[in-house]
C-alpha cells in the first residue's frame, strides 16, 4: 500500500470515529478512488533521500506570462502588472529566452513564500494560445487592497461590508479602517457542506473592541472574516475534484462577520450553518500580529495562482497564516513526510479542528450558528 493511500485510509478512519452515524467503510466511502489522489504522491524511491528533498516542497501552482531576464546569474520574470519573480530553472535553457516574452508554468512553495517559483515549463509567448480572454470574476469576491498603514492603523479597500438584509446578488464593498491593537478574540469557523463526511469550508474571524473596525462613513462592524476561496469566474461552479487541477484561481477575501454569517444562513443551502471555535493560547500581541498578517496576505496579488483542494485551499492557508505568529517550536506541521506527503490533518476542514484542539490551539465547539441566531455577535 502506498504511503498516501495509507494516510487517506487513516483520514477516513478518523472521520468514521468522529461521525459514527455515517458508517463510512473504506470500500463504500464516496469517491474513495478519487480521494487517493488528494495527497501528493511520493516518487518511487523518494524515502531514501529525504534530506536531499528538503528544499523541494512546492505546493502552489502558477501560470504566468511576462518578460524573462537574466541578471547576475538569476533568472527573473517580470509580469505586466509589475510583479517580479525569481525562477528556479536551468540557466542554460533560460538564456535563449533572455529579454523575451514567455509563458511560464511554475510552482511556489506555499501561499506566503512566492518570491521564487520552480519553473516546470518555459516557452515562447504565443498570444493565440496564452493571451486568453477569460470571463470576468464572479462579483461575489474581490481581492482586498492595502491602501495605508500608518500609526498602527490599516486602511483596506475591497472589504465586503454588510447591510441589514443582504441580497444574494448585490454586494457592498467598503474601504475599512482596521486597528489591530483593538482585537479581542480570534475564531476558527467551520462551514460544512455536502458531502459532509469529507467537505467543509473554513475561515478566521477577528472580533474587535469599539472603534477597531469601521468603514469610511464611520459605520461599525463587530468582526472581520478572512475567507480563502476559489476565485470563480462567471459560469464556474466549485467542485472538490475539479479543485485538484488548474481550474480555479484563488482569492483571500475580507468581509465583515455580519455579512458572511448573514449570507451563509440566508442565501446558502437550506441546512447551511457555521460552527465556531475560539483560537486559544495566543497573546494579545500575537492576535494583533495575526490581524496584520491576514490583511497583508489578503492584499497579495495572486493573479495566475491556482486554488488546489489539498495544498492551496481555504484551510491549510489559514494554518500557514497562524504559523507566522507562532514560535518556531509551536508551528503546525504542514507536511507529514517533508515535501512528499501533505499533512491531511492540516488541510482537511473536517479534521483540522480536532487536530488543533489536540495541540491546545482551539477550544471546544461553541454550538451552531444558523438562521435563528446568526445576528447574535461573537464575543
Same domain, yes or no, for 193 and 77? no
End of a domain among 80, 101, 130? 130
Tell me, yes or no, whether 247 lies in a domain.
yes
Instruction: Kindly report which listed range (30-34, 282-286, 296-300, 357-361) carries the lowest average pLDDT score.
Output: 30-34
Instruction: Kindly report which listed range (42-51, 271-280, 305-314, 319-328) carries the lowest average pLDDT score.
Output: 42-51
Tell me, yes or no, whether 104 lies in a domain.
yes
Q: What per-residue confidence (pLDDT) applies to 22? A: 33
Measured over the CA atoms of residue 58, residue 322, residue 318 and residue 332, the dihedral's sign is positive
Tell me, yes or no, whether 97 lies in a domain.
yes
Tell me, yes or no, whether 179 lies in a domain.
yes
The tally of CA atoms less than 13 A away on the side-chain side of residue 6 is 7
Report CA-CA distances (Å) from 344 to 2, 11, 162, 202, 335: 15, 7, 34, 15, 8
Same domain, yes or no, for 210 and 270? yes
Average pLDDT over residues 207-223: 96
Measured over the CA atoms of residue 235, residue 240, residue 242 and residue 246, the dihedral's sign is positive
Same domain, yes or no, for 95 and 149? no
Q: Residue 70: is its pLDDT beyond 90?
A: yes
**Parent domain of 24:** 3-37
Same domain, yes or no, for 110 and 13? no
Same domain, yes or no, for 120 and 150? no
Same domain, yes or no, for 265 and 339? yes
Q: What per-residue confidence (pLDDT) applies to 171? A: 96
Q: What per-residue confidence (pLDDT) applies to 37? A: 38
Local confidence band at 321 (pLDDT 50, 70, 90 cut-offs): very high
Q: Residue 346: is its pLDDT beyond 80?
A: yes
Tell me, yes or no, whether 290 lies in a domain.
yes
End of a domain among 130, 158, 192? 130
Is 243:315 a contact under the CB 8 Å cutoff? no
Average pLDDT over residues 26-39: 34
Local confidence band at 55 (pLDDT 50, 70, 90 cut-offs): very low
**19-33, 203-217, 326-340: which has the highest mean pLDDT?**
203-217
Q: Residue 303: is its pLDDT beyond 90?
A: yes
Q: What per-residue confidence (pLDDT) applies to 198? A: 87
Q: What per-residue confidence (pLDDT) applies to 335? A: 86
Same domain, yes or no, for 185 and 81? no
Tell me, yes or no, whether 75 lies in a domain.
yes
The tally of CA atoms less than 13 A away on the side-chain side of residue 233 is 10
Local confidence band at 300 (pLDDT 50, 70, 90 cut-offs): very high
Q: Residue 7: is its pLDDT beyond 60?
A: no
Pairing of strands 84-88, 116-124: parallel
Tell me, yes or no, whether 64 lies in a domain.
yes
Report CA-CA distances (Å) from 132 to 103, 120, 128, 242: 12, 20, 7, 20
Whichever domain contains 103, its CATH number is 2.40.50
CA angle 215, 221, 225 (to 5 degrees): 100
Q: What per-residue confidence (pLDDT) applies to 250? A: 98
Same domain, yes or no, for 85 and 166? no
Same domain, yes or no, for 256 and 350? yes
Same domain, yes or no, for 193 and 283? yes
* 152-201: pLDDT as tens digits: 999 999 999 998 788 999 999 999 999 999 999 999 999 999 888 888 99
Q: Residue 35: is its pLDDT beyond 50?
A: no
Tell me, yes or no, whether 367 lies in a domain.
no
Local confidence band at 57 (pLDDT 50, 70, 90 cut-offs): low
Average pLDDT over residues 108-130: 95
Q: What per-residue confidence (pLDDT) applies to 338? A: 67
Same domain, yes or no, for 248 and 313? yes
Q: What per-residue confidence (pLDDT) applies to 8? A: 44
The DSSP element (H or E) to which 15 belongs, if any, is helix 3-18
Q: What per-residue confidence (pLDDT) applies to 237? A: 95
Q: Residue 25: is its pLDDT beyond 60?
A: no
Taking the whole predicted model, whether its pTM rises above 0.75 is answered as yes
Same domain, yes or no, for 78 and 23? no
Average pLDDT over residues 25-32: 32
Domain count, the chain: 3
Output the average pLDDT for the chain: 86
Local confidence band at 59 (pLDDT 50, 70, 90 cut-offs): confident
Q: What per-residue confidence (pLDDT) applies to 163? A: 82
Amino acid at each position: 500500500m502506498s504511503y498516501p493511500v495509507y494516510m487517506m485510509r487513516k483520514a477516513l478512519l478518523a472521520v468514521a470515529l468522529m461521525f459514527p452515524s455515517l458508517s463510512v467503510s473504506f470500500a463504500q466511502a464516496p469517491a474513495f478512488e478519487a480521494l487517493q489522489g488528494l495527497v501528493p504522491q511520493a516518487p518511487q524511491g523518494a524515502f531514501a533521500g529525504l534530506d536531499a528533498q528538503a528544499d523541494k516542497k512546492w505546493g502552489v501552482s502558477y501560470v504566468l506570462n511576462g518578460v524573462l531576464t537574466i541578471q547576475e546569474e538569476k533568472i527573473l520574470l517580470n509580469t505586466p502588472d509589475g510583479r517580479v519573480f525569481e525562477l528556479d530553472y536551468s540557466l542554460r535553457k533560460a538564456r535563449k529566452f533572455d529579454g523575451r516574452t514567455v509563458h511560464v508554468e511554475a510552482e511556489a512553495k506555499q501561499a506566503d513564500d512566492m518570491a521564487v517559483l520552480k519553473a516546470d515549463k518555459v516557452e515562447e509567448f504565443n498570444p493565440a494560445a496564452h493571451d486568453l480572454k477569460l470571463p470576468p470574476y464572479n462579483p461575489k469576491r474581490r481581492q482586498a487592497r492595502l491602501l495605508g498603514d500608518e500609526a498602527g492603523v490599516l486602511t483596506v479597500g475591497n472589504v465586503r461590508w454588510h447591510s441589514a438584509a443582504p441580497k444574494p446578488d448585490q454586494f457592498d464593498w467598503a474601504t475599512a479602517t482596521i486597528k489591530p491593537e483593538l482585537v479581542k478574540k480570534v475564531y476558527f469557523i467551520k462551514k460544512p457542506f455536502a458531502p459532509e463526511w469529507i467537505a467543509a469550508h473554513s475561515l478566521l474571524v477577528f472580533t474587535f473592541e469599539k472603534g477597531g473596525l469601521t468603514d469610511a462613513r464611520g459605520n461599525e462592524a463587530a468582526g472581520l472574516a478572512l475567507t480563502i476561496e476559489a476565485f470563480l469566474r462567471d459560469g464556474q461552479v466549485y467542485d472538490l475534484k475539479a479543485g485538484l487541477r488548474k481550474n480555479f484561481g484563488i482569492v483571500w477575501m475580507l468581509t465583515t462577520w455580519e455579512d458572511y454569517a448573514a449570507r451563509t444562513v440566508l442565501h446558502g443551502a437550506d441546512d447551511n450553518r457555521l460552527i465556531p471555535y475560539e483560537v486559544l493560547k495566543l497573546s494579545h500581541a500575537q492576535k494583533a500580529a495575526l490581524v496584520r498578517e491576514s490583511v497583508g496576505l489578503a492584499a497579495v496579488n495572486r493573479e495566475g495562482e491556482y486554488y488546489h483542494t489539498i495544498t492551496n485551499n481555504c484551510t491549510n492557508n489559514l494554518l500557514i497564516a497562524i504559523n507566522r505568529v507562532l514560535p518556531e517550536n509551536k508551528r503546525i506541521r504542514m507536511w507529514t513526510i517533508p515535501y512528499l506527503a501533505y499533512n491531511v490533518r492540516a488541510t482537511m476542514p473536517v479534521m483540522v479542528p480536532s487536530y488543533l484542539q489536540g495541540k491546545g490551539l482551539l477550544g471546544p465547539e461553541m454550538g451552531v450558528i444558523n438562521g435563528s441566531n446568526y445576528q447574535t455577535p461573537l464575543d
